[in-house]
Amino acid sequence: MMKNYAAVLYGPKDLRVEKWPMPEINDKEVLIEIDCVGICGTDIKLYSSGKCGLEEFTEPVVLGHEGAGVVIKVGSEVTNLAVGDRVAIEPTQPCRGCEYCKQGRYNLCDQPRYCSTTTGPGNMCRYYKHVADFCHKIPDNLSMEEGAAMQPLAIAIHACNRAGVRLGCTMVILGAGPIGVLCAMTARAMGATKILITDVVESRLKIAKKLAVDHTLHVSPEQSDQEIAEKVLNTLGTTPNITIDACGFESAQRIALKMTRTGGTVLVVGIGPESVKVPLTGALLREVDVRGAYRLLNTYPLALAAVSSGTIDLKSFITHHFPLEKSKEAIEFAKKGEAMKIIIHVTKKS
């Protein structure tokens, strides 16, 4: 008899790997034996405080939303997948009936049933069910680990689309965590010609320089906004067309609004506090567009194609591996900021 196990968060820093109910699928769903799951910054925030952005948990929740696995059962109405297919799980199950879903903007759905939120369980578990049409076949030349890492790449592609990245543009990315680095890799593939990235962790900057960027800048909390902005502009040699906040810090948003070129774009993809104090008026009077990027939208197929073709290299982006039973240790390690992408292996290799 199959037994399900999951990494369940009961409260801040209270993560337990334990038996969990076996999912029962409906006609439109598939049952997936999860192979591996990536750890995201959202997981770290939830683990550390029990909340992330506007999400605050009052009941236990299974963590994880960067999953990949093998289909082991299909619903009677499923036609796009078969038992044995390897799939990357796009971690949302939108309602399909609200105003936003009908407009094709399902990432803004009021009831998205997004993995590891108050509206849906996560997939850091042995067995997980999902609607079939939000499961994407993994090309034969890609690993399960790359399949799991599609989720943050799909977020980065959506962010770059929202920012209007184009051939020849100059960019600054604030934050060299996984999303920031993937934004840089995506922007390079989309034609950005000069990219600078900042971070407080030197090891992350070294990985970013190896993977995608022209310039790196190590910053510290002790530096003023003006100091950082001047160093960025001096290093880059010009003002950026596009600045992406990939860390969610208030200071990053202030710096972005001040230094982005007149008529340029500031894109916020990092999840920060509910309220921030930023110099908005000056940026608006220079017609700097300020945009948000929320999760992802129709970018899983693009991500899979980009990695399968070799346009984007995810293997170098994946840096550390842990088994499911050491999920808590993995998140504690991720909190140090030394890793780029950590993969949790749910299925034990023989």
pLDDT tens string 121-135 = 999 999 999 999 999
Q: What is the pLDDT of residue 350?
A: 41
Q: Confidence band (pLDDT; 50, 70, 90) for 338? A: confident
Residue 2 pLDDT > 90, yes or no? no
Q: What average pLDDT does range 60-77 have in this prediction?
A: 97
Strands (E), the chain: 5-11, 14-19, 29-38, 51-52, 55-56, 61-62, 67-74, 86-89, 127-131, 135-137, 170-174, 194-199, 215-218, 242-245, 265-268, 289-292, 318-323, 341-345
Assess whether pLDDT exceeds 80 at residue 139. yes
The tokens describing 96, both together, are 């399909």
Give the residues across from 51 on adjacent strands.
Answer: 56
Is 5-149+314-345 a domain of CATH 3.90.180.10?
Answer: yes
Reported as a single tens digit per residue, the pLDDT across 215-250 is: 999 999 999 999 999 999 999 999 999 999 999 999
pLDDT tens readout for residues 267-297: 999 888 888 999 999 999 999 999 999 999 9
Under CATH, to which class is 154-292 assigned? alpha beta
pLDDT of 74 above 80: yes
Distance CA 179, CA 182 (A): 5
* pTM assigned to the model: 0.95
pLDDT at residue 321 above 90?
Answer: yes
The rounded percent of the chain whose pLDDT value lies above 70 is 99
Q: Are 258 and 252 in contact (CB under 8 A)?
A: no
- 107 touches 73 (CB < 8 A): no
Q: What is the pLDDT of residue 46?
A: 92
pLDDT band (50, 70, 90) for residue 349: low
Structure tokens at 261: 């070129």
Q: What's the confidence (pLDDT) of residue 49?
A: 86
Are 15 and 327 in contact by the 8 Å Cβ rule? The answer is: yes
Q: Do domains 5-149+314-345 and 154-292 have the same CATH topology?
A: no
Kindly tell me the sign of the dihedral angle through the C-alpha atoms of 300, 246, 38, 316.
Answer: positive
Average pLDDT of span 327-336: 95
347: pLDDT confidence band, cut at 50, 70 and 90?
A: confident
Domain residue spans in the chain?
A: 5-149+314-345, 154-292
